[in-house]
C-alpha cells in the first residue's frame, strides 16, 4: 500500500472549515483513500473514503486531486468535538488491513 504524509498538527477556529491535507504521491490506480479519526481515549472512527471523485457525507468532504497524488479532508464547520487525530490511509480495495501512520492532531479552538 502507498505511504502517506500528513502534517503533525493543525489548529482551527471553532465554526470555521478545517482543511486537512494528505500527500500520497505513490498511490496506484486501484488504491482508495480513507480517512479515520481518533478522539482521545476512543477507538478510531471511520469518516469517509474515495477513489478518484470528490466525496461528501454527513461528516466531511474529501477532495482528491486529478492526479490522485494528494487529497484534502474538509470539515465544513469545525466544533470542539472535532478535536482529534486524523489519519489518512491509502490501501487497495478488498480486505487488506489498514496501515495507520501518526496522523494529524487537529485542535479546534474556541
Partner 1 sequence: NAGVTQTPKFQVLKTGQSMTLQCAQDMNHNSMYWYRQDPGMGLRLIYYSASEGTTDKGEVPNGYNVSRLNKREFSLRLESAAPSQTSVYFCASSEMAGSFQPQHFGDGTRLSIL
Residues at the interface with partner 1 (CB under 8 A):
32, 34, 41-46, 49, 87, 93-95, 97-103
Q: How far is the CB of 51 from partner 1 (least distance, A)?
A: 9
Pairing verdict, β 55-56 and 61-64: antiparallel
Q: How far is the CB of 54 from partner 1 (least distance, A)?
A: 16
Closer Cβ to partner 1, 9 or 16, answer by number:
9
Closer Cβ to partner 1, 19 or 32, answer by number:
32
CB atoms closer than 10 angstroms to residue 50 = 18
Reduced to 3 states, what is the DSSP secondary structure of residue 81? Answer: helix
Closer Cβ to partner 1, 14 or 105, answer by number:
105
Report the b/e string of 11-33 with b at 16+ CB within 10 A: ebeeeeebebebbbeebeeebbb
Q: How far is the CB of 42 from partner 1 (least distance, A)?
A: 6
Amino acid at each position: 500500500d502507498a505511504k502517506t504524509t500528513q502534517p503533525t498538527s493543525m489548529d482551527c477556529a471553532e465554526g470555521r472549515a478545517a482543511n486537512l491535507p494528505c500527500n500520497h504521491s505513490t498511490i496506484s490506480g486501484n488504491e482508495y483513500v480513507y480517512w479515520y479519526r481518533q478522539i482521545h481515549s476512543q477507538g478510531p472512527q471511520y469518516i469517509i473514503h474515495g477513489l478518484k471523485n470528490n466525496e461528501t457525507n454527513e461528516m466531511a468532504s474529501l477532495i482528491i486531486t486529478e492526479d490522485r497524488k494528494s487529497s484534502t479532508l474538509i470539515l465544513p464547520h469545525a466544533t470542539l468535538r472535532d478535536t482529534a487525530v486524523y489519519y489518512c490511509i491509502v490501501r487497495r480495495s478488498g480486505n487488506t488491513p489498514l496501515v495507520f501512520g501518526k496522523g494529524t492532531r487537529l485542535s479546534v479552538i474556541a
